Amino acid sequence: MCALRMPQADGRLPLYARLRDQLASRIANGEWSPGDTIPSENRLAEEYGVALATMRMALKQLVDEGLLERRRGTGTFVKQPAFRADLFRFFHVHDADDPDGSMIPESRILSREEVETPAEVRLAFGEPDATRCIKLERVRLWSGEPMLFEEVYLRLPDFEGLLALDPKDMGPLLYPVFLQEFGILITSATDELSFGTATQASARHLELPANSPVAVIERIARNPVGRVIEYRRVHGRPERFRYRVTLGEQNA
């Protein structure tokens, strides 16, 4: 059997990480669907012409990230991910006609480009030497009115190919796209809310006067093993935000 050629990737990544990315791409492209058994470690190692130990490391990473699951005595299967709606919606949006917050705001992608990684993004990624990343800008609308302006920063080479996607095919939620197109599962996020002043860009897209006050949300999103995948900075119209916390009786 001829060995498969390894895909071109960032040479800084170890071999097992490049294998992980290639296997995740095969899952994302539908070669193996949720519930399917993937080939054995031995067969995959032979296909790629790598050591068995290296292939095991790549598969372990996919298991840790929630893309695969091992079943003793039966093999390794593609796992059906359990998406969390609270992560997807990015803050709950409520309306008089939607008391449970089940509706999803409309999304419009404004720009996508490869940029030099800002210092705060390098810090969030934990990679001080990261030089380039993907930046995505979009506006979220509710009943046709702009509500949020988002700047989303994504790692390279994880999201190589995102610039080629048709925005019309991406839908209102990013995290399902991350999984389906790049094999990257988001399972946790930290959101920090503060207040600040609109930038020129956020004021324009939120239809606010220059230097208006805005709600500022910073999000750091992680995969199942805690690796930071996304840094997001959001400006929102402050009159649309409310903070609510429910404390248990023991905190009364």
pLDDT digits (tens, 9 = 90+) for 76-99: 998 876 555 555 454 555 554 555
CATH 1.10.10.10 positions along the chain are: 15-78
Collapse the DSSP code of 55 into the 3-class scheme (helix H, G, I; strand E, B; otherwise coil) and give the result. helix
Q: Are strands 213-222 and 132-142 parallel, antiparallel or unpaired?
A: unpaired
Q: Indicate if the pLDDT at residue 252 is higher than 60.
A: no
Angstrom distance (rounded) from CA 68 to CA 50: 20
Structure confidence by residue, pLDDT tens digits, 31-61: 888 889 999 999 999 999 999 999 999 999 8
Angstrom distance (rounded) from CA 109 to CA 206: 14
Q: Which residues pair with 222 in a beta bridge?
A: 188, 228
How far, in whole angstroms, is CA 194 from its chain's centroid?
A: 22
Structure confidence by residue, pLDDT tens digits, 111-156: 999 999 999 999 999 988 889 999 999 999 888 889 999 999 999 9
CATH number of the domain at 85-240, please? 3.40.1410.10
Structure confidence by residue, pLDDT tens digits, 232-241: 999 999 887 7
Other Cβ atoms within 10 Å of 189 Cβ, number: 18
Angstrom distance (rounded) from CA 83 to CA 77: 18
- Binning pLDDT at 50, 70 and 90, where does residue 100 land? low
Domain 15-78 listed as CATH 1.10.1050.10: no
Output the pTM of the full model.
0.68
Mean pLDDT of the chain: 83
Q: Indicate if the pLDDT at residue 2 is higher than 50.
A: no
Q: Retrieve residue 57's tokens.
A: 């490391």
CATH 3.40.1410.10 positions along the chain are: 85-240
Contacts of 91 (CB under 8 A, 6+ apart): 191, 217
Contacts of 153 (CB under 8 A, 6+ apart): 117, 118, 121, 124, 133, 134, 135, 136, 230, 231, 232
